[in-house]
Amino acid sequence: MENTGRRPFGFYVCSLAFTLERFAFYSAKWLLAVFVVDSVVNGGLGLSAADGAKMSANLVAFTYLAPLIGGYISDRIVGARYLVPIGMVFMGAGYLVGWQATSATMVNLMIILVSIGTGLFKCQTNAITGRLFDDPRELDSSFSIQYSFVNIGSFIGTTIIGLLVGTQGYAFCFLICAIMMFIDAIWFIFGWRFLGEAGKKPFKIDEKKEIAESKQEEKKPLTTIEKKRVAAIILVSFFSIIFWVFWYLAYMPVYYYWGGVNGFADWTIGNFEVPTAWFDSLNALSCITLGPILGKLWTKLASRPQGDLSMFKKTALGMSLLGVSYVIFAMADIIRGENLASLVWIFAFGVVLSLGEMVFSPLGNSFISKFAPPRLLSTMMSVWVLVVFFAGKSYGWVYEFTLKFDFASVYFVIAAISIAASVILWSLDRKLNSLVIEDEEKNGIAEEVIA
């Protein structure tokens, strides 16, 4: 395999594939939300904000659920590298439907095609990336770099599309997303030669020895510590649902309450009207900027005698920041009175929301990878995917429910729920840590527990 620096060139093939795919996906996510509620005369569908929120929620939810099916196919039937460009073509076809959409039915067809495509693309590209490295110690830094490629794609996409939609209209922007995916498919097929043997065969066929060993392992009953770890994963998954429902919900009032023709915020800077898509760009830019800062902070904390914050405390802190962001949201509505709210409020809300996401995010795959019993790893990963699916499917309905109440009141309540959940999680830190590490400590087995 050819190398670029210390990493194989195949790593950059996969990373750029994510950049182009996220360019299209996050652009389309915003496009869909504003397109379906805009008036027909402006090129929209003229549906309600609640309809737009639920369609946006479906796009998010099913693109998390579909990879479970795609993962089964790449494990047992077809090599992952061949599924990836097929998935890209499905996504491109979905965006082409969005290009021609004139009804809710066509929008739903777009969501189905994009979800199928994501199911064939997302997990498989991650799995291929993981198999490009012989040294497992390189994986954390490599996936961190790849996450930067993801955010760069999101930032560039929503920034450009946010500008284009004002001059070229929704249809043209969906077409751009489709073209981006077809270019992505060509790029990935070109990059096959740099992937070595990774993803040529279904992963389970390529790992027969591990399967035989895992089948023997499955016959053994779970140990006490394994049962405790499963319980801990299920418990913290509940907190994750709360976090992600409210995190995804945050975008809806930005698009529909603060933004739009009759929105309650002033989106102009001088003579320039800031597109609401740039709120998505702000999230990506915040992730790119804050990532290294948080990395240095955790490293500094880890050097203390008492060590870094535990994973559970970090996730509790993330939920607190989510609550604080909603306090900012509600205060903006109170302080504006009868006037339009300053864009500074939206900016502050977006930065704190993104900070909460980045602090909370260690709970996910890294937590399950560290503590799930090996024989239940796939099952526990599936539980996590279903958690995000449930959160994604729910936030549209939650937003519809919030429309029945005064804006500031309902978002103060959401802030209170988030902060209360964070206090509970923080208070459970010692108990949760004992669930996952107590037995090892008693036996004197050295193990790194907190990332």
pLDDT confidence tier of residue 215, bands split at 50, 70 and 90: low
Distance CA 273, CA 438 (A): 56
Domains recognised in the chain with CATH numbers: 1-206 (1.20.1250.20), 209-451 (1.20.1250.20)
Distance CA 57, CA 63 (A): 10
- Of 248, 43, 345, give the one whose Cα is nearest residue 164: 43
Distance CA 29, CA 57 (A): 9
DSSP 4-52: ETTEEHHHHHHHHHHHHHHHHHHHHHHHHHHHTTS-GGGTS----HHHH
**Which residue in this structure is represented by tokens 């205060």?**
331
* In the predicted structure, residue 308 carries a pLDDT above the cut 90: no
* In the predicted structure, residue 197 carries a pLDDT above the cut 90: no
CA-to-CA dists, residue 97 to 62, 90, 121, 185, 195, angstroms:
17, 11, 19, 18, 32
Q: What is the pLDDT of residue 328?
A: 96
Q: Which region among 41-45, 234-238, 327-331, 393-397 has the lowest average model confidence (pLDDT)?
A: 234-238
The total of other beta-carbon atoms located within 10 Å of residue 440's CB is: 13
* In the predicted structure, residue 221 carries a pLDDT above the cut 80: no
Stretch 271-294: mean pLDDT, rounded? Answer: 90
**DSSP conformational letter for 374:** G
pLDDT confidence tier of residue 1, bands split at 50, 70 and 90: very low
* In the predicted structure, residue 336 carries a pLDDT above the cut 90: yes
- Of 445, 416, 260, 251, give the one whose Cα is nearest residue 327: 416
- Of 44, 16, 340, give the one whose Cα is nearest residue 194: 16
Stretch 92-115: mean pLDDT, rounded? Answer: 95
Stretch 229-239: mean pLDDT, rounded? Answer: 79
Q: What is the pLDDT of residue 442?
A: 42
The average confidence (pLDDT) of the chain is: 84
Stretch 361-368: mean pLDDT, rounded? Answer: 63
Helix intervals (H) in 337-406: 343-360, 365-371, 377-402
Q: What is the pLDDT of residue 374?
A: 64
**DSSP conformational letter for 194:** G
Q: What is the pLDDT of residue 444?
A: 39
Task: Please check whether residue 64 is in contact with residue 384, taking contact to mean a CB–CB distance below 8 angstroms.
Answer: no
Rounded to the nearest 10 degrees, the angle between the axes of helix 104-130 and helix 139-191 is 120
Which residues lie below 8 Å from residue 126, measured CB to CB, with a gap of 6+? 143
Burial 241-273 (b: 16+ CB within 10 A, else e): ebbbbbbbbbbbbbbbbbbbeebbbbbeeeeee
Q: Which region among 304-313, 364-373, 430-439 has the lowest average model confidence (pLDDT)?
A: 364-373
Q: What is the pLDDT of residue 73?
A: 83
Query: Whole-angstrom distance between the N-terminal and C-terminal Cα of the chain?
Result: 31
Report how far Cα 257 is from the mean position of its chain's Cα atoms: 23
More confident residue, 94 or 359: 94
Q: What is the pLDDT of residues 111-160, one digit of tens each?
A: 999 999 998 888 788 888 878 877 766 666 677 788 888 889 999 999 99
Q: Which region among 86-95, 250-259, 387-396 has the lowest average model confidence (pLDDT)?
A: 387-396
More confident residue, 196 or 6: 196
pLDDT confidence tier of residue 223, bands split at 50, 70 and 90: confident
Which residues lie below 8 Å from residue 280, measured CB to CB, with a gap of 6+? 26, 29, 30, 154, 158, 162, 251
Q: Which two tokens stand for residue 87?
A: 């998935």
Q: What is the pTM of this model?
A: 0.84
Q: What is the pLDDT of residue 231?
A: 77
Q: What is the pLDDT of residue 419?
A: 96
Q: Could you tell me the sign of the dihedral formed by the alpha carbons of 179, 180, 181, 182, in that order?
A: positive
Q: Which two tokens stand for residue 82?
A: 């061949």
Q: What is the pLDDT of residue 362?
A: 60
Report how far Cα 175 is from the mean position of its chain's Cα atoms: 24
Angle value at C-alpha 141, between 226 and 369, nearest 5 degrees:
10
The share of the chain scoring above pLDDT 70, in percent, equals: 85
Q: What is the pLDDT of residues 379-437, one digit of tens each?
A: 666 677 788 888 888 999 999 999 999 999 999 999 999 999 999 989 988 887 776 66
More confident residue, 89 or 80: 89
pLDDT confidence tier of residue 443, bands split at 50, 70 and 90: very low
